[in-house]
Amino acid sequence: MPPSGRLLATVLRAMVAAAALSGLVLGWRYAAGPSDPDGPPSVRVLKLLPGTFMWAAAPDDARYLPDGLRAADAARLKLLLLRDEDGVVRGFWLPQQDGRASVPVAASLATPGIPCDDLAPDFAAGDIACRQAASGMGFGQRHRWSLQGRALTPGTPDLYLAAGREVDGDWVLQAVR
């Protein structure tokens, strides 16, 4: 075999070996399943302007949920994130029913709240409340909170603060246990 033929055969063997090694590495990674996310759960809040709010789903990692709740309980929670007029972002846990936040009425988030179609902060009034005008919502509308989560009405529990902070345009949850 001429020298150029041997060189070509060696290069071809090296390419086949590199392809086999690449296939083995990719197969191993695929078999291992999805990679773990880097760091704690977060919500992008970069476009959350002062005086606005957003809802987010609760993470299904119990380390970031309020005490006493398990990962399976995440489906019963909503995360309310609001940016006050000073630019500070706060997060609160609220019970949810049928995909909507509900009015918390007990000292535990394990207790379902009162369903409300329009639970939201009002930055002009400086409160968070159920603004649903439908009949039968009189009880739910009596519960009000400050934008800092403190109860403004007697017999109403404070909102459950979500441990977290804003980092580079993301609200990053902090483990509570």
Tens digit of each residue's pLDDT (9 = 90 or more) over 104-126: 988 888 888 888 888 999 999 99
Q: Choose the weakest-confidence range: 27-31, 32-36, 131-135.
A: 32-36
**Predicted pLDDT at 17:** 81
In this prediction the pTM is 0.75
Higher pLDDT, 12 or 157: 157
Look at residue 36 and tell me whether its pLDDT is greater than 60: no
Q: Which residue has the tokens 């988030």?
A: 109
CB 83 within 8 A of CB 51: yes
**Predicted pLDDT at 45:** 96
Q: What SS3 class is residue 83?
A: strand
44 beta partners: 170
CB 94 within 8 A of CB 129: no
**Token pair recorded at residue 148:** 């800092």
Q: What SS3 class is residue 12?
A: helix
Q: Choose the weakest-confidence range: 63-67, 129-133, 151-155.
A: 129-133
Mean pLDDT for the chain? 86
* Amino acid in the structure at residue 16: V
**Proportion of the chain above pLDDT 70, given as a percent:** 88
**Predicted pLDDT at 3:** 72
**Predicted pLDDT at 134:** 58
Class of the domain covering 42-173: mainly beta
Q: Choose the weakest-confidence range: 36-40, 66-70, 160-164.
A: 36-40
Sorting pLDDT into bands at 50, 70 and 90, what band is 137? Answer: low
